[in-house]
């Protein structure tokens, strides 16, 4: 771990003498000192210092943020496994935005925890009785396929599209509890088309893969939100599969900016929490993307 820190701050040398750590070097010494202090706090709280966590902690310190404050925020304690916590400063901003706003847009590449954290916040709100139900929805468009080409009844056809959200819910509350929530109507899983004509009160609604909505579908969804409800809309504008090419997210931030209770969080490759190679792939695609407007 110390060698990784030295590699990130080449102007600083770390000396370990027994239980003491001494630092010497350039003007980044103070940053390294804060980083090591926070990493010790994380270890004391039972977190494992894997390379990804160290890398993200380095990024935070460079932005004058404290990893111990970001990475110890507990969103949810699931039925099994470790507590759900943000793993980057961008994820912390995302969680805070969901808590403070009625509608939150979380945009960013794959692996940034957009859907996972949204489901965790939804379960937390349901357990705290802040909402009466969770609604998980996605547009039924995926890489050029259509529902009619899939075998089975409606739920069998919808399943491949909604499986990522359903799997996240399983991880949060357990398979049996998720089934019971579905049976008593506390959780609803449905394609976006099923939202038309409804008013969604007392609900925590997650619209996933929103880049695959049309502008008409997005407007329809946003106007379904009723009293006592909260909505999170996630999307990756680099992976648009909607047939017309007209994404419901296109230009939407400019249209909706300034509305009280509505927030936007843009996650980046720095917030990718999957294998390091995923972050490298996202960065490679970003470098290869044509300039905006070309």
CATH code (residue 119):
3.40.50.300
**At 5, is the pLDDT very low, low, confident or very high (cuts 50, 70, 90)?**
confident
Does the pLDDT at position 277 exceed 60?
A: yes
Q: If you average pLDDT over residues 220-244, what whole number do you get?
A: 90
Same domain? 100 vs 65 = no
- How far apart are alpha carbons 237 and 282 in whole angstroms? 13
Is 249 domain-assigned?
A: yes
Residue 245 and residue 183 in one domain: yes
Q: What's the pLDDT band for 291 if we cut at 50, 70, 90? A: low
Judgement on whether residues 54 and 197 belong to the same structural domain of the protein: no
Of 41, 71, 101, the one marking the end of a domain is: 71
Residue 81 confidence class, pLDDT cut points 50, 70, 90: confident
Shared domain for 42 and 150, answered yes or no, is no
Residue 76 lies in a domain: no
| Mean pLDDT in residue range 13-30 | 85
Q: Which residue, 12, 45, 71, sits at the end of a domain?
A: 71
Per-residue pLDDT for 292 more than 80? no
Question: Is residue 79 assigned to a domain?
Answer: no
Q: Across residues 243-249, what is the average pLDDT?
A: 82
Section 9-24 average pLDDT: 85
Task: Please tell me the total count of domains within the chain.
Answer: 2
Say if 180 falls within a structural domain: yes
Let me know if residue 245 belongs to a domain.
Answer: yes
27 and 121 housed in the same domain: no
Q: What is the pLDDT of residue 141?
A: 60
As a whole number, mean pLDDT of residues 49-74 equals 86
Selection from 34, 33, 36 nearest residue 49 by Cα: 36
> Which of these ranges, 126-135, 143-152, 266-275, has the smallest mean pLDDT?
143-152
Query: Are residues 127 and 252 both part of a single domain?
Result: yes
The answer on 284 and 196 residing in a single domain is yes
pLDDT confidence band for 94 (50 / 70 / 90): very high
Q: Average pLDDT in the 119-144 region?
A: 86
Residues 102-127: what's their mean pLDDT? 94
Q: Does residue 137 share a domain with residue 217?
A: yes
* pLDDT averaged over every residue in the chain: 85
Q: Tell whether 59 and 175 lie within a shared domain.
A: no
- Give the range among 37-41, 263-267, 279-283 with minimum mean pLDDT: 279-283
293 pLDDT band, cuts 50/70/90, is very low
For residue 81, tell me if it sits in a domain.
Answer: no
Predicted confidence at residue 161, as pLDDT, reads 64
Q: What is the pLDDT of residue 4?
A: 84
Which residues form the domain of 63? Answer: 2-71
Q: Are residues 254 and 112 in the same domain?
A: yes
In a domain, 78, yes or no: no
Q: Residue 287, Cβ neighbours under 10 Å: how many?
A: 7
Query: Which one of 71, 102, 118 terminates a domain?
Result: 71
Task: Identify the bridge partners of residue 130 per DSSP, sorted by sequence position.
Answer: none
pTM value > 0.75? yes
Q: What is the pLDDT of residues 135-185, one digit of tens each?
A: 999 887 643 444 444 444 445 544 666 778 888 888 899 888 888 888 888
Which region among 84-88, 144-148, 180-184, 230-234 has the lowest average model confidence (pLDDT)? 144-148
- Can you tell me the mean pLDDT for 23-46? 87
Residues 62 and 109 in one domain: no
pLDDT score for 159? 62
Q: Please check whether residue 244 lies inside any domain of the structure.
A: yes
- Label each residue of the chain as H, E or C: CHHHHHHHCCCEEEEEECCEEEEEECCCHHHHHHHHHHHHHHHHCCCCCCHHHHHHHHHHHHCCCCHHHHHCCCCECCCCCCCECCCCHHHHHHHHHHHHCCEEEEECCCCCCHHHHHHHHHHHHHHCCCCCEEEEEECCCECCECHHHCCCCHHHHHHHHHHHHHHHHHHHHCHHHHHHHHHCCCEEEEEHHHHCCCCECCEEEEECCHHHCCHHHHHHHHCCECCCCEEEEEECCCCCCCCCCCCCCCCHHHHHCCCCCEEEEECCHHHCCCCHHHHHHHHHHHHHCCCCCC
On whether both 45 and 184 belong to a single domain, the answer is no
Is the separation of the CB atoms in 263 and 95 below 8 Å?
A: no
**pLDDT (0 to 100) of residue 118:** 96
> Between 97 and 164, where is the model more confident?
97
């Amino acid at each position: 771990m110390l060698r990784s820190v030295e590699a990130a701050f080449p102007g600083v040398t770390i000396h370990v003498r027994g239980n003491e750590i001494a630092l010497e070097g350039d003007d980044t010494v103070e940053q390294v000192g804060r980083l090591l202090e926070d990493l010790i706090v994380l270890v004391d709280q039972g977190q494992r210092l894997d390379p990804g966590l160290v890398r993200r902690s380095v990024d935070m310190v460079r932005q004058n943020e404290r990893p111990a404050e970001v990475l110890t925020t507990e969103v949810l304690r699931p039925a099994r496994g470790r507590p759900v916590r943000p793993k980057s400063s961008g994820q912390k901003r995302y969680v805070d935005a969901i808590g403070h706003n009625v509608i939150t847009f979380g945009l960013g590449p794959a692996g940034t925890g957009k859907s996972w954290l949204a489901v965790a916040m939804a379960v937390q709100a349901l357990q705290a009785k802040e909402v009466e139900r969770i609604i998980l929805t996605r547009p039924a468009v995926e890489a050029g396929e259509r529902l009619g080409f899939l075998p089975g009844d409606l739920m069998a056809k919808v399943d491949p599209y909604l499986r990522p959200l359903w799997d996240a819910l399983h991880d949060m509350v357990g398979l049996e509890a998720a089934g019971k929530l579905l049976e008593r109507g506390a959780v609803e899983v449905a394609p976006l088309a099923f939202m038309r004509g409804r008013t969604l009160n007392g609900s925590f609604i997650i619209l996933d893969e929103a880049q695959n909505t049309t502008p008409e579908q997005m407007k329809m969804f946003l106007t379904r939100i009723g009293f006592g409800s909260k909505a999170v809309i996630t999307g990756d504008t680099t992976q648009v599969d909607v047939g017309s090419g007209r994404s419901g997210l296109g230009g939407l931030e400019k249209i909706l900016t300034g509305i009280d209770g509505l927030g936007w969080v843009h996650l980046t490759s720095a917030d990718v929490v999957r294998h390091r190679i995923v972050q490298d792939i996202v960065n490679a695609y970003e470098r290869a993307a044509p300039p905006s407007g070309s």
